[in-house]
Structure 1
C-alpha cells in the first residue's frame, strides 16, 4: 500500500485519534457502573473494582511502554483498536440482553483498560512519525477537546437505562474499530526498534532518560505541580454560587457553565499561539500568566460570581494550553524509540501527583478544621498551592534557551541522550 501524503496522514490521524477517544468514553465509571449496578453491586464494590483495575494498569504501565517502543506503532494501534472493539462489543451485547456475568465483567474491564493504555501510549509515540512537526499541537489539541467533550455525557449515561448504557458502549466499540482501520491505513515510516535488553533494563533506561533529560525533567515537574495542586485549590475555593443557596439566576448559571469550556478554550488558544510563541515558551508562559488567577476564588461572596468563575476558568484554560504544548514538545524532542517509556513515566508521575494532591487536601482540612468546601478560612492553602504551581514552572523558564534548538529540526537519538 502506498503511504498517504503528509496532509492525508494528518487527517487520518485526527480521525483515528478521535475514534480512539470515543472508545475511551466507555472506560472507568461508565464501564463499571453501567454493568455492575444492574447486577446489584453497591458503590463500595464499584469503587473497589475500579481501584483494582487502576492499580493493575499502573503496575503494567512501564512494561506497556517498553512494548510500545519495541513494535511498530501503527500495527499496535490497529491491533489494540480491534481488541478494544471486540471486548466492548461483547459487553455492550451482554448489557443490552441484561445477561452480564461476573466472570465476563472481571475479564473484559481490566482487559479493556490494558488495551486502551497500550493504545494511548502508541498513539502519542506514533504521532511524530505520522505527521509533520507543525501538526503535533493541532492534533493534540483536538484529542484534548474530544476527550473533554466525552466527560460531559458520562453522567447522563450513568443515570440512563441499560439500553442507553449498552448503546454508549456499542458506540465506543464502533469508534475503536474505526480507529483501528484508520491507523492501519496511515503506514507512516518508523525507526527500527533497538536491540532488546530485557523488559526491566529497558524500563529503567526509559525512566532514567525522562528524569535526567533537563527539559523532560522540567516538564515532569511542571505537570506534577499542576496536577497535585488542583484539588487543594478547588476544595478551598470560596464558592459564591453555593454560599448564596437557592436557585441560580440565569446569569449565574451561564457563568458556572463557562468553567466547563476552559479546556476547549485552552486547546484552541494553544493552536492559535504556538507558531508565533513556540511550544515550550508557550507552556511556561501560560502557567506563569494564568495560575495566579486562582487567587480570585478567595473573593467569594464579596466580589460576586464573575470573579470566582474567572478564578477557575483562566487557570484551567492555562493548564490546557500548557498540557497541549508540553505534550507536543515532549514528542518533538524525545527519540522515537523512547516515546513509549517516556509517556509511561509521565503517566505514573501524574497518578502519584493525584494521590499527593488528595493527601494534601485531607491534611489541610485536618489542620484547619474545615468541615466542607468553600470555607473562607482556607485561604492559606489556596495561596500556598498557587505559589507551588508557579514554582514548578520556574525550571521550564530557566531552560527556555536550551529548548530552542530542539524546535529547529527533528531530534536524533544522539542529541536526545546527550
Structure 2
C-alpha cells in the first residue's frame, strides 16, 4: 500500500534512517567530486591528461568488478554490503590527507585511492539499488527514488558550497577528511535500519558465470531495459568527457577560484533538487517511459553555453544551462530507476543493477580518458562542445524503443 504525502515515506523510521544515511554519504561524495581533482590540479600540478586519467580511475571499478558484483550481492544481505562499503571507503579516503601531511602524496597515490574507492562504490551502489524495494515496497518506488534524489540534490548544492571555502582555507587534501567522516557516519546510520532481509538461500551449485549470464540476458533481451541501459551508456561517456574538462575550463581558462567553482556546481545542485521535486509529477503527467527520453532531449543542448562563456553574464547563463542539465538528469534517473526496479524480480535485482551499471557506466573510464586526450588535442572548450553533442544524442536509443510511446511493462 502506498504512503501518501506530504511526508509520505519519511514517516517510516527505516526509510528515514536510509534517507539520513544517503544525505551524509552523498555529502561526502560531492565533496570528493570537487576536492579530488583539485588535489591533482592545484596541489600536484597535474596536466589535462593526468586529470582525465584520474577521472578514469575513479570509475574503472565498474569495468573491473561490475558484473560479478551483482552476482555476489545477490548472495548477501544488501544492508551489510552497504555498511561495509561505506566504512571501507571512509578509511581509503583518509590515506590522502595522511600522505599529504607526510609529504608522500603523488599522482600515482591518487590513482590508487580513486580505483579502490571506485570498486567499493560499485558494491555500495548495487546493494543500495537492490535494497530500496525491500525498505519501501514496490508500490512506493517512484516516491522513494524521488525523495532520495531530492536529498542527493540538496547535497549537490551544499557539498560544493561547503567544499569550495574549505579547500580555500585548508587545502584540497585536508578537505577530504570531511568526505571520510560523511561516509563513516552514513555506514553507522545504515546499521540502525530495522528492516533486515532474510539471508538469500544459497544455491546448491553456485556458478558465478551462469549467474552473471542470467543477469545480462535479462537486461539485454528486455526492450525497455536495453534501451535505458544503452542511452545511459552514451550519456555517461560524454558527460564524463564534459565534466573532466569543466573544472579545467573554469579554473584555467576563466580564472575562477575554488569558491567560484563551488558556486557553479551548487547551481547544478539547485537544478537537480528542482528535478527531484518535479520528477513524480512529470512521470505521472508525461508517462514514465516518455519522460526518460524527453528529459535528455530538452535539457542536454543547453550545455553548449559553457564553452561559449566568458567572465560576466555569459557565465551566469552557462551556469543556468548546467542547472538545466541536472534537472533533466534527475527527472530521467528517477523515472528509469523506478521502472528498472519495477520490471525486475527480487532474485535478480542485484544482477540487474550490476548489469545496467556495467554497461551504462562501463564507458565512464573511457570518457575520462577521452576527455583528457581531447583536452590535450582540442583544448578544454573543444571537449565541452563534444560532450554537449554526445549527451544530446543519448536520447536516441530510448526514442527508438517502446519507451517512445510510453509502453514498457508489456514490452518483453
TM-score by length of 1: 0.69
Contact 1:74–1:187 at 8 Å: present in 2 too? no
2:134 counterpart residue number: 129
2:293 counterpart residue number: 284
SS class of match (1:266): helix
2:197 counterpart residue number: 190
Worse-matched range after superposition: 220-229 or 202-211: 220-229
Worse-matched range after superposition: 203-212 or 139-148: 139-148
Aligned residues: 382
2:327 counterpart residue number: 317
2:210 counterpart residue number: 201
Label 1:108 to 1:203 Cα distance change in 2 as closer, same or farther (>3 A).
Answer: same
Contact 1:229–1:388 at 8 Å: present in 2 too? no
1:350 counterpart residue number: 360
* Deviation at residue 335 of structure 1 after TM alignment: 2.1
Equivalent residue in structure 1 for 2:188, among 166, 177, 181 = 181
Which one has the largest radius of gyration? 1
Label 1:100 to 1:383 Cα distance change in 2 as closer, same or farther (>3 A).
Answer: closer
Structure number with the bigger relative contact order (C-alpha 8 A, sep ≥ 6) is 2
> C-alpha separation between the residues in 2 aligned to 1:113 and 1:86?
13
> Structure 1: any 5+ residue segments left out of the alignment?
236-240, 248-253, 407-417
Label 1:42 to 1:131 Cα distance change in 2 as closer, same or farther (>3 A).
Answer: same
Contact 2:343–2:409 at 8 Å: present in 1 too? no
Equivalent residue in structure 2 for 1:113, among 112, 118, 129 = 118
TM-score by length of 2: 0.70
> C-alpha separation between the residues in 2 aligned to 1:383 and 1:86?
36
* Deviation at residue 292 of structure 1 after TM alignment: 6.2
Contact 1:17–1:123 at 8 Å: present in 2 too? no
Contact 1:130–1:186 at 8 Å: present in 2 too? no
SS class of match (2:236): helix
Deviations 1:226-284 (A, max 9, x none): 3345578999xxxxx9xxx999xxxxxx9998566332222222144345555334323
> Structure 2: any 5+ residue segments left out of the alignment?
1-8, 245-249, 257-262
> C-alpha separation between the residues in 2 aligned to 1:343 and 1:182?
23
> C-alpha separation between the residues in 1 aligned to 2:303 and 2:223?
28
* Deviation at residue 311 of structure 1 after TM alignment: 5.5
> C-alpha separation between the residues in 2 aligned to 1:111 and 1:299?
36
Contact 1:16–1:180 at 8 Å: present in 2 too? yes
